[in-house]
């Protein structure tokens, strides 16, 4: 039983809420009166409600995000019907902007906008002392990182062994890309580095092996980036199976960082590289600063001289970007050979200044989360749908790690088209035959790839079968699919599967 209950609905069980752990770590004298209960968006509302009521809290704080706003609204509505006396406080990115317009705002007692690490505890102290604030929507003052207690002791052993553990050495972003919430988060603030690295050492000692950094600009500060990389490089001499995920600025990679990155063993580093667009005019429209030539140089360095797993992002639907412009950027990125290219659809996140283009570029978004683009001046709805299918099929074929050698055949064997055009043809062909984007069995997808390459591209069936079967075995399977059997010699039915110390999807790319 706790007087104060902190909760949220994670996107899936494997995600551990970083925000809740920051809140509870900074509760001060109220820490022993506070508990965390986490749910996920696939659970039934009534089951979550039963768990909350069994705790008999006086105050419930709920973290609200784009992926859980719908379910959170229903949960709080039902909680208030049953127990209107419970004080409900909402916070998080989704409720921090356009707050007055949201149904959840009407249901809860208070909303804390912005970073609530300290403001939540202060509000709870007032409420428990029967001092009710006069305003419902409370704007949290921006805390400095040295004011905050670090949250890493709040991860329990179950989190360390079974869930994604998030860490951060900084908050904020110096850039002003209009589609991104981080553009509103200025200035960049760094955590006290000695205390942060001590906390990382404790997590490693407790058994944590995968660290997901949520910093928007890991490589912004050279001295800090060097110390963090040097720390983990030293740890790798004792704990060789560490895996680190960083987001990086794509056009900033000085020699001092390059020298350190080259020392990491293959599969121990993943860099998420937000490129979004290569079109200079589009970049100017959305206030994005990016040196494309330097970006390309850095990505080629990462792929040719290091063992880093590179995950690069592009966005469909930006104002000023048509299918041809996106395709040229996609082809340019494919030539740099990142292991994954994430094709995302533009979202109108609450509070972001991307809305200033709505009239000029006829931007139309879905009003329901995640607020994805439906059409604009250059892309009609049918084209957006086609690109959405392209993105999904690219993810399950090229990004999944299941078809590392097969996927490039789609464009390498098609001399009449670019990689973008070739994969778009495959995407159209596949959708005509299966009519869906989800729930495609791996064996069925493998057979469709074989059919497309042999029937449409007219590649040699024996050569295609050998490549596909090598990929098929990489997924851990030892059977021979019937459609491949006539085209395979017996000696090709085994492949080398080296162990890579990385998450399963990344390990398939690195093997």
Burial class (CB in 10 A: 0-12, 13-18, 19+), 158: exposed
**Cβ-contact 30, 60 below 8 angstroms:** no
- pTM to 2 decimal places: 0.92
Distances, alpha carbon 498 to alpha carbons 112, 245, 501, in Å:
49, 21, 10
Low-confidence ranges of the chain (pLDDT < 50): 496
Residue 505: the pLDDT is 65
Residue 187: the pLDDT is 81
* DSSP 8-state code for residue 149: P
Backbone angles phi, psi at 59, to 5 degrees: -130, 135
Residue 32: the pLDDT is 96
To which residue do tokens 């139309």 refer?
364
Residue 270: the pLDDT is 97
Domain residue extents for the chain: 4-142, 164-355, 387-511
Residue 175: the pLDDT is 85
**Cβ-contact 35, 158 below 8 angstroms:** no
**Cβ-contact 277, 314 below 8 angstroms:** yes
Whole-number Å distance between alpha carbons of 440 and 55: 41
For residue 61, give both structure tokens: 């704080």
Superfamily grouping for domain 164-355: tm_1862 like domain (3.80.30.20)
Contacts for 240 with CB less than 8 Å, ≥ 6 apart: 265, 501
Residue 500: the pLDDT is 56
Residue 70: the pLDDT is 97
Q: Does domain 4-142 have CATH number 3.40.640.10?
A: no
Asked whether the CA dihedral 324, 314, 308, 163 is positive or negative, the reply is negative
């Amino acid at each position: 039983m706790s007087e104060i209950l902190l909760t949220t609905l994670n996107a899936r069980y494997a995600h551990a809420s970083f925000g809740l752990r920051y809140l509870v770590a900074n509760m001060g004298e109220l820490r022993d009166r506070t508990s965390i209960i986490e749910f996920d968006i696939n659970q039934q509302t009534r089951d979550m409600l039963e768990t909350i009521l069994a705790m008999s809290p006086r105050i419930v704080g709920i973290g609200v995000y784009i992926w859980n706003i719908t379910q959170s609204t229903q949960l709080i509505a039902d909680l208030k019907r049953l127990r209107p006396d419970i004080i409900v406080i909402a916070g998080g990115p989704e409720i921090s902007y356009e707050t007055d317009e949201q149904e959840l705002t009407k249901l809860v007692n208070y909303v804390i906008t912005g970073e609530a690490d300290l403001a939540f505890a202060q509000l709870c102290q007032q409420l428990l002392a029967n001092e009710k604030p006069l305003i419902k929507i409370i704007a949290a003052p921006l805390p400095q990182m040295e004011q905050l207690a670090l949250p890493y002791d709040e991860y329990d052993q179950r989190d360390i062994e079974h869930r994604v553990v998030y860490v951060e050495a900084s908050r904020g972003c110096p850039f002003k890309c209009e589609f991104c919430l981080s553009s509103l988060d200025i200035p960049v603030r760094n955590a006290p580095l000695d205390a942060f690295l001590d906390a990382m050492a404790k997590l490693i000692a407790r058994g944590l092996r995968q660290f997901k950094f949520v910093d928007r600009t890991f490589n912004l500060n050279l001295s800090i980036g060097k110390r963090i990389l040097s720390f983990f490089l030293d740890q790798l001499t004792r704990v060789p199976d560490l895996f680190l995920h960083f987001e990086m600025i794509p056009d900033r990679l000085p020699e001092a960082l390059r020298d350190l990155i080259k020392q990491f063993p293959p599969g121990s580093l993943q860099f998420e590289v937000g490129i979004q667009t290569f079109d200079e005019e589009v970049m100017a429209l959305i206030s994005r600063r990016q040196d494309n030539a330097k970006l390309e140089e850095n990505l080629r360095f990462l792929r040719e001289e290091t063992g880093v797993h590179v995950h690069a992002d592009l966005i469909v639907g930006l104002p000023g970007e048509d299918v041809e412009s996106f395709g040229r950027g996609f082809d340019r990125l494919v030539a740099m050979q990142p292991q994954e290219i994430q094709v995302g659809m533009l979202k109108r996140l609450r509070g972001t200044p991307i809305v200033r283009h709505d009239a000029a570029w006829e931007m139309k978004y879905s009003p329901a989360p995640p607020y994805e683009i439906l059409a604009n001046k250059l892309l009609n709805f049918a084209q957006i749908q086609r690109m959405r299918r392209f993105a999904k099929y690219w993810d399950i074929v090229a990004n999944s790690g299941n078809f590392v050698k097969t996927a490039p055949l789609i464009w390498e064997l098609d001399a009449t088209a670019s990689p973008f055009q070739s994969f778009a043809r495959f995407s159209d062909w596949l959708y005509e035959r299966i009519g869906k984007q989800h729930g495609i069995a791996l064996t069925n997808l493998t057979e469709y790839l074989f059919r497309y390459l042999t029937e449409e591209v007219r590649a040699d069936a024996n050569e295609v079968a050998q490549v596909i079967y090598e990929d098929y075995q990489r997924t851990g399977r030892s059977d021979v699919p019937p459609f491949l059997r006539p085209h395979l010699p017996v000696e090709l039915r085994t492949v080398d599967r080296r162990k890579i110390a990385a998450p399963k999807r990344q390990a398939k790319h690195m093997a």
